[in-house]
Structure 1
């Protein structure tokens, strides 16, 4: 028997959860179909959010013959066979993992996109601005398939209950636990539901302990705010920020039992720049390398990589000057009239009058007397260096030297 998630895959846009900006009556894809104006587009977003489902529904309703092409596993000959059919009809191609499309395949596809014989729907879990070749990307509209909300996952689970092989009820705590463990993926939520239902008979109620039983792990008690997932992430960050190495390791251990490496990794990368920052600027690269290694090897070995990384982070010097500086600058720009870019910093103005810009590399120590701040905030200071670490103390000394040189040249 096919999995529950496959059996109840939506066949109408109205059955798709959480993507109203795309599939509601006023959604861009619905309007595209209604007006019979097919445009190539890329759907991007996390796994399990409905990209393939949305693309399939769109393709089935578009009125053209359509084909699926996997850029990771299918070869150029497969694409040629598909595109040969455009000799007598327009077609639609759903390209899964479009970010993996090889250059020779792209080059073969592009002319068919240009002349409108082939409409392409690309699917990717990555940011297309960074991962999809510009030649393809520039010919496609980009639409985000958003991470599903808890409410959307809950609706999907409640709908899934009615399609199980047995008639069961579900306790609210069990429903909440499925939602929390789904990682915002409908497919994962339905897989949990289907597995847990094997423990029940007709008329039974699915309880929270059933979810724990199928996982074989000690999971979070969602009624205990101390152990809430996001509280654990918060506790990890605050422990590292507070240089409490033992507490940092403790909360890392609790998080590792939840099998969500990506959430831990995202938080560690944030901590490296938000809390350690310029006190130890190499930490960002060290954390990135370590977390990439952790993802490659997976658990249980990833625990060793992350443990050594967290110890290093907790004992590192700390500085939040970077986040303070950018937040203050953003606040000023959003709430004040900061004025215009000075002429000598404006590319457009410099092109009209190149002499207004003084090239710093032509000056002693590559420093001149020009100020690049808008006049209205010319005396504003955003960066206030700390001097507790050797690196940021060196930055502070450098900043003082730059100011002295500029003042001397202005005098």
Structure 2
């Protein structure tokens, strides 16, 4: 059976690799490795179909080093032992591990000594964030390099090369430039997916030219670099909050749309609530309340209609006055609580023992409550809330705060009661 087009078109030399100029361009680190004949253990991380494993094998080929492929999910310890024995006969054996973040502890324990002494040069490939997904023992022995999604121009170049190459379609069909642009737009930077689409269209075509209509017929949805559990999802969540914080309503709606496509209402609900209280907060408390109502409405009706109240809430939050004073205040209070633990003043305790009646908290004197010292003596001058005058509401809170500071709070309740 004929091998898939994407497999046949895999680069064999560094000059055949498309994209990743930040690593393989003139003067960049991977090209310098080739030029200087040196290689070290590394991990390539990035979205699927961006050439991580391919680049690893190209490196080994360019340096004329033997290499072996190992899958961290399906491979077993017996396979690793065989590779380690084989490595004894070489001056450095390259071990390319796909899904390296899935390497369990037993396999790591076998691998680490060989990486440490240089007998094995490890090149790992993963779609996960290595700082979070890769075991520190592996990570500390490897250099980390990001493999980026290919640009549209790179994808189009790869498609045209595959259509013309003897290893590819060998010129049997032509690719309409508009069709190439359409495939590149659909694939989301995934060159493997783009080549798979090209091959499918070439098989299905009765015409000498692959048209945009044919591409649209066989590819219904673009590939998205986002799913509920992948790093792309968390990147979108991060961008979502930053866009709202930066008052970019269009970007905020775009990232909301990407999260809705993932169908993860739980993450949308949690993030919107955090954004509302952390970034808008006292700048517009009414918008915070409206966000809660919008989330409730979205959950009641479900998707797709649920996107409407969510979109309204996002517009409201993005264009609202912002204030992080509430979040910063509780963070400051938490830091103080972790750093010190002074006793609660006796007159504030739940059951004060042995106190004179005149020294007890005056439940029946609301006229005195704002004059009482509530913080323990050791931190009585601490200030956690710093108003941000971004809205009329918080300006009023700040004015109240300043007016209350005029009172010298006292712990001598007897004197307060006597009006001294």
My pick for the range that moved more, 191-200 or 139-148, is 191-200
1:109 and 2:111 matched: yes
- Please give the alpha-carbon distance, in whole angstroms, between the structure 1 residues aligned to 2:402 and 2:107: 52
Given that 1:44 and 1:145 are in contact with CA atoms closer than 8 Å, whether structure 2 keeps it comes out as yes
Given that 2:23 and 2:30 are in contact with CA atoms closer than 8 Å, whether structure 1 keeps it comes out as yes
- Post-superposition offset of 1:112: 1.2
Unaligned runs of 5+ in 1: 220-233, 242-247, 291-303, 327-356, 374-378, 388-392
Given that 1:319 and 1:386 are in contact with CA atoms closer than 8 Å, whether structure 2 keeps it comes out as no
Given that 1:368 and 1:406 are in contact with CA atoms closer than 8 Å, whether structure 2 keeps it comes out as no
Report the equivalent of 2:10.
Answer: 9
- Post-superposition offset of 1:96: 0.7
Report the equivalent of 1:86.
Answer: 87
- Please give the alpha-carbon distance, in whole angstroms, between the structure 2 residues aligned to 1:128 and 1:210: 39
- Please give the alpha-carbon distance, in whole angstroms, between the structure 1 residues aligned to 2:143 and 2:399: 45
Given that 1:174 and 1:211 are in contact with CA atoms closer than 8 Å, whether structure 2 keeps it comes out as yes
- Please give the alpha-carbon distance, in whole angstroms, between the structure 2 residues aligned to 1:63 and 1:322: 60
Report the equivalent of 1:362.
Answer: 342
1:185 and 2:170 matched: no
Tell me: CA distance 1:307–1:164, structure 2 relative to 1, closer, same or farther (3 Å): same
- Within-5 A mapping of 1:5-404: 5-89=6-90, 90-162=92-164, 163-201=168-206, 204-215=208-219, 217=220, 261=262, 279=288, 306-307=303-304, 310=307, 313-314=310-311, 319-320=317-318, 324=322, 359=339, 361-362=341-342, 365=375, 369-370=381-382, 384=390
Tell me: CA distance 1:266–1:358, structure 2 relative to 1, closer, same or farther (3 Å): closer
Tell me: CA distance 1:170–1:307, structure 2 relative to 1, closer, same or farther (3 Å): same
Aligned residues: CA RMSD: 4.9
Tell me: CA distance 1:123–1:405, structure 2 relative to 1, closer, same or farther (3 Å): farther
Tell me: CA distance 1:33–1:164, structure 2 relative to 1, closer, same or farther (3 Å): same
- Please give the alpha-carbon distance, in whole angstroms, between the structure 2 residues aligned to 1:104 and 1:399: 63
Tell me: CA distance 1:201–1:105, structure 2 relative to 1, closer, same or farther (3 Å): same
Tell me: CA distance 1:75–1:33, structure 2 relative to 1, closer, same or farther (3 Å): same
Tell me: CA distance 1:310–1:35, structure 2 relative to 1, closer, same or farther (3 Å): same
- Post-superposition offset of 1:209: 0.8
TM-score, normalisation: structure 1: 0.63
My pick for the range that moved more, 110-119 or 192-201, is 192-201
My pick for the range that moved more, 173-182 or 21-30, is 21-30
- Post-superposition offset of 1:94: 0.6
SS at match of 1:198: helix
- Post-superposition offset of 1:365: 4.7
- Please give the alpha-carbon distance, in whole angstroms, between the structure 1 residues aligned to 2:163 and 2:59: 26
SS at match of 2:205: coil
- Post-superposition offset of 1:27: 2.4
Aligned residues: 321
Tell me: CA distance 1:160–1:384, structure 2 relative to 1, closer, same or farther (3 Å): same
Given that 1:276 and 1:319 are in contact with CA atoms closer than 8 Å, whether structure 2 keeps it comes out as no
My pick for the range that moved more, 12-21 or 357-366, is 357-366
Tell me: CA distance 1:361–1:265, structure 2 relative to 1, closer, same or farther (3 Å): closer
- Please give the alpha-carbon distance, in whole angstroms, between the structure 2 residues aligned to 1:372 and 1:401: 12
SS at match of 2:38: coil
- Post-superposition offset of 1:264: 11
- Please give the alpha-carbon distance, in whole angstroms, between the structure 2 residues aligned to 1:121 and 1:403: 64
For the pair shown, the structure with the greater C-alpha radius of gyration is 2
My pick for the range that moved more, 12-21 or 314-323, is 314-323
Given that 1:275 and 1:320 are in contact with CA atoms closer than 8 Å, whether structure 2 keeps it comes out as no
SS at match of 2:47: coil
TM-score, normalisation: structure 2: 0.61
SS at match of 2:112: helix
Tell me: CA distance 1:54–1:382, structure 2 relative to 1, closer, same or farther (3 Å): farther
- Post-superposition offset of 1:148: 1.1
SS at match of 1:109: helix
